[in-house]
């Protein structure tokens, strides 16, 4: 097929791909589910919309756990009327996800072939991990968008634009600072960057192996220190199997082999190497932190798509009689992956749309109760987002029932919010007899319960 043919079909095909990706997400745009990090980012963004210097979290502390670009961008849509703030924020993230799909096509077209770009864009549009996080107000989809825009600018030799988008990526998530190394590695000889990659792999492995022998630093340094671990191979395998699958993984490996053999050492190749080595030593907990791998997925899909394309070419050149069978195999295989990943995307979105819900109604109820509104909860981010005027106290994971009573008395807390969504909720809270121990249930709906903490009668059995 000629380049003119691909130029002719590009616009309708890419539009169709974008519509597929958007259709998967659109159904879940208006969900009431709000994860803890989503509530945190929205809370900070709302503060920034009123005061650009107010970069404080729900506890009033300066927020440094992620760079602030996403929150500043979201602050621009807080004033939009006719739509809830969280829904407007989800639209921003969804548009960035669609932008990544489009960018993947242009990268594949330039480095490999237009057909490889189209297939990779299709894979990205139905990617379960991208779709699952793509309706969440988190920084993983935006940082992936900015990273691949930066890679795309290098591929098309737009150096000034590269640095702009690389800076945007680094201001969205700290790990994206690695993208600034791409121009340096592209100027090196293969022997040099190969040694650096092997040295980096060995250094990270040594750090992960020995870090637990040393005390963890305090403050922000300890926060970053704890992100380097030896990989959990079981979770690595489970995550790869669930979100990528054997076909994509096998052909991505083949695509990397072909890329090296054909010396296509582009910005994409080096990003996959740099981030891939570092990702190995980030935490691996399937479903909990699988989104850390998202910046690799567009690259993986491009490698897999290129391997499919080149495999047909190789068969056509060596065994031309089997060319049609090879094309049929890949058409069926790719269609099967697209179908499976679409179903998996919809299944995950449906399964999690009803998790972390009910905080808005619980807060609306509490607002009408007598003050002061001092609330203890294991989900302080959601409560504080829905009711910023409340004084919110976090329930510690390891606190005992007796210690909790003392905590309530000391802080003069009036209300206790117990939700079964929180992963930080103490185990005893799920089966505790609140009434016998001096708590009056005043609200209960959708796994969120509100108790009045009585100042008298704790532990009386009444």
pLDDT in tens, 259-286: 999 999 999 999 999 999 999 999 999 9
Distance CA 294, CA 291 (A): 5
Residue carrying the six token digits 């691949």? 148
Closest CA to 134 of 194, 76, 93: 93
What pLDDT is attached to residue 451?
Answer: 94
Planar angle of CA 426, 288, 350, nearest 5 degrees: 100
**Residue 310: pLDDT over 80:** yes
What was the pLDDT predicted at 461? 35
DSSP state of 217: P
Write out the two tokens for 159.
Answer: 């150096």
What's the whole-number average pLDDT of the chain? 92
Higher pLDDT, residue 84 or 5: 84
State the residue for tokens 């637990």: 212
447: left (phi over 0), alpha (psi -120 to 50) or beta: left
Q: What is the pLDDT of residue 455?
A: 60
Which candidate, 18, 74, 81, 10, places its Cα nearest to that of 47?
Answer: 74
Q: What is the pLDDT of residue 228?
A: 85
The residue whose two tokens read 């190789």 is 314
* pLDDT score of 223: 73
Residue 33 and residue 419 in contact, taking contact as beta carbons nearer than 8 Å: no
For the segment 185-212, the average pLDDT, to the nearest whole number, is 93
**Confidence label for 1 from pLDDT (cuts 50, 70 and 90):** low
The pLDDT score that the predictor gives to residue 102 is 97
> Are the beta carbons of 40 and 381 closer than 8 angstroms?
yes
pLDDT per residue over 369-423, tens digit each? 998 899 999 999 999 999 999 999 999 999 999 999 999 999 999 999 999 889 8
Q: pLDDT at position 162, please?
A: 98
Look-up of token digits 């920084």 = 139
pLDDT at residue number 220: 72
Look up tokens 């997400």; give the residue: 25
pLDDT value of residue 456: 53
Q: What percent of the chain is modeled with pLDDT above 90? A: 79
**Res 221: pLDDT:** 74
Tens-digit pLDDT profile for residues 430-443? 889 988 888 999 99
Looking at residue 396, the DSSP 8-state letter turns out to be: P
pLDDT confidence band for 462 (50 / 70 / 90):
very low
Closest CA to 103 of 150, 70, 171: 150
> Using CA atoms, how far apart are residues 239 and 217, in angstroms rounded to an integer?
30
- Domain residue extents for the chain: 3-352, 359-453
Asked if omega into 372 is within 30° of 0 (cis), the reply is: yes
**How many other CB atoms are there within 10 angstroms of residue 193's CB atom?**
20
Give me the mean pLDDT over the 10-22 stretch. Answer: 93
Predicted confidence at residue 457, as pLDDT, reads 44
pLDDT digits (tens, 9 = 90+) for 152-194: 999 999 999 999 999 999 999 999 999 999 999 999 999 999 9
Least confident of 209-218, 243-252, 311-320, 335-344: 209-218
With a cut of 60, say whether residue 4 has pLDDT above it.
yes
The encoded tokens of residue 184 equal 């340096």
pLDDT for 459 beyond 50: no
């Amino acid at each position: 097929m000629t380049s003119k043919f691909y130029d002719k079909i590009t616009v309708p095909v890419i539009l169709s791909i974008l519509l597929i990706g958007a259709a998967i997400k659109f159904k879940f745009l208006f969900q009431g589910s709000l994860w803890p990090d989503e509530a945190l980012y929205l809370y900070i963004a709302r503060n920034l919309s009123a005061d650009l210097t107010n970069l404080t979290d729900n506890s009033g502390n300066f927020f440094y756990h992620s760079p602030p670009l996403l929150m500043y961008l979201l602050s621009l849509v807080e004033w939009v009327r006719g739509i809830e703030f969280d829904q407007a924020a989800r639209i921003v993230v969804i548009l960035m996800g669609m932008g990544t799909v489009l960018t993947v096509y242009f990268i594949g077209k330039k480095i490999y072939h237009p057909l490889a770009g189209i297939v990779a864009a299709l894979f990205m549009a139905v990617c379960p991990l991208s779709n699952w996080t793509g309706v969440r107000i988190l920084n993983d989809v935006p940082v992936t968008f900015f990273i691949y825009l930066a890679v795309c600018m290098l591929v098309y030799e737009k150096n000034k634009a590269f640095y702009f988008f690389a800076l945007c990526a680094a201001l969205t998530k700290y790990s994206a600072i690695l993208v600034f190394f791409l121009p340096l590695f592209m100027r090196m000889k293969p022997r040099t960057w190969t040694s650096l990659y092997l040295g980096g792999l060995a250094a990270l492995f040594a750090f992960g192996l020995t870090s637990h022998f040393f005390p963890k630093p305090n403050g922000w340094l300890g926060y970053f220190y704890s992100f380097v671990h030896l990989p959990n191979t079981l979770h690595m395998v489970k995550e790869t199997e669930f979100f990528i699958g054997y076909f994509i993984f096998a052909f991505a490996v083949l695509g990397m082999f072909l890329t090296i053999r054909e010396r296509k050492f582009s910005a994409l190749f080096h990003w996959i190497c740099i981030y891939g080595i570092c990702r190995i030593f980030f935490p691996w907990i399937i479903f909990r932190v699988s989104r850390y791998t998202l910046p690799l997925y567009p690259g993986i899909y491009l490698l897999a798509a290129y391997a499919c394309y080149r495999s047909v070419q190789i068969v056509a050149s060596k065994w031309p009689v089997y060319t049609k069978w090879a094309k049929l195999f890949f058409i069926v295989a790719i269609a099967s992956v697209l179908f499976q990943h679409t179903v998996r995307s919809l299944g995950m979105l449906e399964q999690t749309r009803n998790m972390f819900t009910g905080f808005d109604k619980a807060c609306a109820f509490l607002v009408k109760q007598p003050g002061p509104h001092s609330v203890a909860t294991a989900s302080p981010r959601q409560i504080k987002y829905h009711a910023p005027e409340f004084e919110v106290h976090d329930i510690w994971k390891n606190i005992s029932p007796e210690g909790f009573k003392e905590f309530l008395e000391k802080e003069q807390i009036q209300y206790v919010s117990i939700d079964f969504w929180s992963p930080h909720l103490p185990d005893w809270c799920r089966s505790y007899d609140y009434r016998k121990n001096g708590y009056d249930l005043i609200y209960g709906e959708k796994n969120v319960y509100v108790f009045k903490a009585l100042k008298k009668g704790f532990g009386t059995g009444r």
